[in-house]
Amino acid sequence: MKDKLYLIFYNGELLVKVESENIIIPNEKNMKDFNIDLDVLDSSLSGTNQEIFFGEISKIDSIPIGFEFYGLRPLANLIENSLFNLVAKAFHLIRWNNTYKYCNRCGTLMKEKEDERAKICPQCGFINYPRISPAIITAVTKDKKLLLAHNTNFANKTYSVIAGFVEPGETFEDCVAREVFEETGIKVKNIKYFGSQPWPFPDSLMVAFTCEYDDGEIKVDGVEIDEAYWYAVDELPKTPPKGSIAGRLIEWFIHNYA
C-alpha cells in the first residue's frame, strides 16, 4: 500500500510543495509535522491504489516549511491530468458539502446517505446528489485557421475557444451549434467528440468537441464575447494553459494545422 496522501484546502487553494517543477502532495509523515485541524475529512476518493484523504481548514497559523497554497487553475498546468481530476473531485465535494447543508424542499438539516454519495433529508426523504453542470467547449476550424474569442470576464487579453453550458432538453452537439452561433454568428458542421475534463469552478464538467465552419460571418454578441477572430498557427494570441481542456484543444489545432 502506498503512503497516504492529503489534499488540504484553504480558501479554495491546495497545500502543495514545489520541487524542481514537481508538485508534491503532503503525505502521512508531513501531516504529523503540521499543526492543523481539518473541518471536513474523507478517504473515499476512488480510482487510485492508495488512500487519499481530503479536507478543508478554516484558519491557519503558519504554513509548513516548503509548502504553500496554490490556486487550482494554475495547478491544472503543473500536474498530470489524473491527479488534477482527483484534486478537482475533492474540491467539488467540499464545495457541495458546504453549499447544500439543508433540504431544498423543507429546510431540514441534511444527513449523509450511507449507501451512496448523497445527502438525505431525515424529515421528508429528499435526496441531494453532488451537482454537476455539463458544458461544451469546442475548437472551430476554417481553412487552417482556428476561431478564438475574448470573453468579457477574462482578466487579460487571453483568447480561447468557444464554451457554454448545456440547456435542458439539449444534446451536446446541439449545444455546440447553438453556443457558437449565439456568441459569434457562425454556423458549424462535422461536430466530433474530443475529450472531457472536470472543472470545479464551481461544478462544471467540460465536454470538448471539434467542428468545422459551415456558414456566416463573425458577429460577436457584445455581452459575453467582445472580440473573435480566425487565427493561423503562426499568429495565435495569448491562450489558456495546456493543462486545461481549452489548452489541449488548441494544442490539437497546432499539431494538425501547423
DSSP secondary structure string, 80-131? -HHHHHHHHHHHHHHHHHHH--B-TTT-PBPEE-TTSS-EE-TTT--EEPPP
Lowest-confidence region among 30-44, 68-82, 134-148, 231-245: 30-44
**DSSP structure class, residue 219:** -
- Kindly tell me if the per-residue pLDDT of 2 is higher than 70: no
What is the percent of the chain where pLDDT is above 90? 66
- Kindly tell me if the per-residue pLDDT of 85 is higher than 70: yes
- The CATH topology of domain 133-257 is Nucleoside Triphosphate Pyrophosphohydrolase (3.90.79)
Residues facing residue 154 across a β-bridge:
none
Residues facing residue 124 across a β-bridge:
none
When mean pLDDT is compared over 42-46, 68-72, 146-150, 152-156, the highest value belongs to 146-150
Q: Residue 57 has what pLDDT?
A: 86
Q: Residue 231 has what pLDDT?
A: 98
pLDDT digits (tens, 9 = 90+) for 176-197: 999 999 999 999 999 999 999 9
Q: Where in the chain is the domain with CATH 3.90.79.10?
A: 5-98, 133-257
Beta strand residue intervals within 129-248, DSSP E: 133-142, 145-151, 162-165, 187-199, 204-215, 225-231
SS3 170: coil
Radius of gyration for the alpha carbons in the chain, expressed in angstroms and rounded: 21
Residue 40 pLDDT class (50, 70, 90 cuts): low
Phi, psi at 232, each rounded to 5°: -80, 165
CATH top class, domain 5-98: alpha beta
- Give 41's Cβ-side CA count (13 Å radius): 7
Chain-centroid distance, C-alpha 34: 29
What is the percent of the chain where pLDDT is above 70? 93
Residue 48 pLDDT class (50, 70, 90 cuts): low
Residue 45 pLDDT class (50, 70, 90 cuts): low
Written as one letter, the residue type at 235 is: E
Q: Residue 42 has what pLDDT?
A: 60
Written as one letter, the residue type at 218 is: I
